[in-house]
Structure 1
Amino acid sequence: MIINNIGQVRHLTLNRPARRNALDSKAIEELKDALQAADRDPAVRAIVLSGAAPAFCSGSDLKELSTMSIQEMCDSELVTAEVARSIAGLSKPVIAAVEGFALGGGFVLAISCDVVVTASNARWHLPEVPNGWLPPWGLQALLARVGAVRARLLTWAADPIDGNEAHRLGVADYLTQAGNADQDALALAQRLAALPAEAITSTKRFFEPFVTHDGERLDRLATQHFASNCEGGTAQALLSKFKVKS
């Protein structure tokens, strides 16, 4: 994790470029600690989350998951889910800056942020259903952004979408040219940081129940489906490539 302060903005950058910023246990712990530290720091008024090139985030680290049983995988994904859900509960706005691609858990981590800025050529995709399982967490964030029918279609993931389509559908809030997502996210964060902090926090507190409604229960339900799906033929064929113990 790279941490920089730019005025009253804390810029957090996922920094595992060799793994396309995949989320392993260490990365999730670092993200959790960095978000909490930024929220506690009175000098910080807004937070930007981005990924080191070439991507925002490729999702869960299958290399790490391949060492786990299915139950251990579920436990790990629930920890990640808790960190993603915690973003809505912070007192300060969190803006995702998406370049390259946001896949699987990376897609959901981005939309768990309060605001999403996407490059027009960014690739967005939820590959879990084609892999044989329901995404194990974060679908409430998708529901909050696009509604149930569109969320279902995106979860079926017949085709990836680009940043233009993500913006049109409401997955992302701001659209920018390739290479400008960090710059535009930081500029937006600075504008939000200039607003009265108490009113910014009150706004987050008011909308939090609508954004996160029943999120923890739904994450646990999705994880139960995920565990069951992982016993199926399609999932087992893929998981066997990573030597996951069933």
Structure 2
Amino acid sequence: MMKIDILTLFPAMFDGVLTESIVGRARAAGAVEIEVTDFRRFANNKHNTVDDTPYGGGGGMVLKPEPIFAAVESLIGTTSSDSAPGKPRVILTCPQGTPYTQQLALELTKEEHLVIICGHYEGYDERIREYLITDEISIGDYVLTGGEIPAMAIVDSVVRLLPGVLGNDTSAELDSFRNGLLEHPQYTRPYEFRGWKVPDILISGHHEKIEQWRRRESLRRTWRRRPDLLERAELSSQDRKWLEEMQAGSAGQKESTE
């Protein structure tokens, strides 16, 4: 069973996220153990202060190293300098970090223990980055009030990939980004809604042609919405042929309107 520890100054923010929907069910089923800890209680001063002004001046406050080091070491049962095998991944949610991807989520599912630190204020004392954490992760090029929302996103994306959590494991296998592309369009009943019909191929019963249609539409959607993904996706010769046809068709339409 995977264990996830979250260190935050605002533990109540996680109440709904960790008790509802898929994550809540996964915890109830024993697929994952998740604990939320207020690292303010590890402060070493009478006022429980966890931040201070930055050396060298400047605006804002910086998280002190002592409470965060103490909190993490209390969870992993060793000091940060100990390189014992089985030491958990310690993740810092940070806009300077590695962009979060589905492949990184898959990588994290292989860990037995994750520790996620949610920052606040202007940043962290640099010694936290240098000597405590193993990963810095960013969920996008924008700034949030704190690291709680990125931590929620990481937890949700990892937990849903754990064996048995979704009930139907093929659901995760067909997710967008799993194979480097966006997911193909999906349809369900009714066959016709307000004059809009489901593509006939999907009710043909011809499974091989359906899979070809889905792959082609996945390529089309990725090409239109996230062409950057195609640069690193594994494409077959048939994939490339379909893309060339799409691009040629698009160019032809553009010429006809000029």
Alignment TM-score > 0.5, same fold: no
Whichever of the two has the greater Rg, that structure is 2
Q: Which has the higher helix share?
A: 1
TM-score by length of 1: 0.24
Q: Scaled by the length of structure 2, what TM-score is found?
A: 0.23
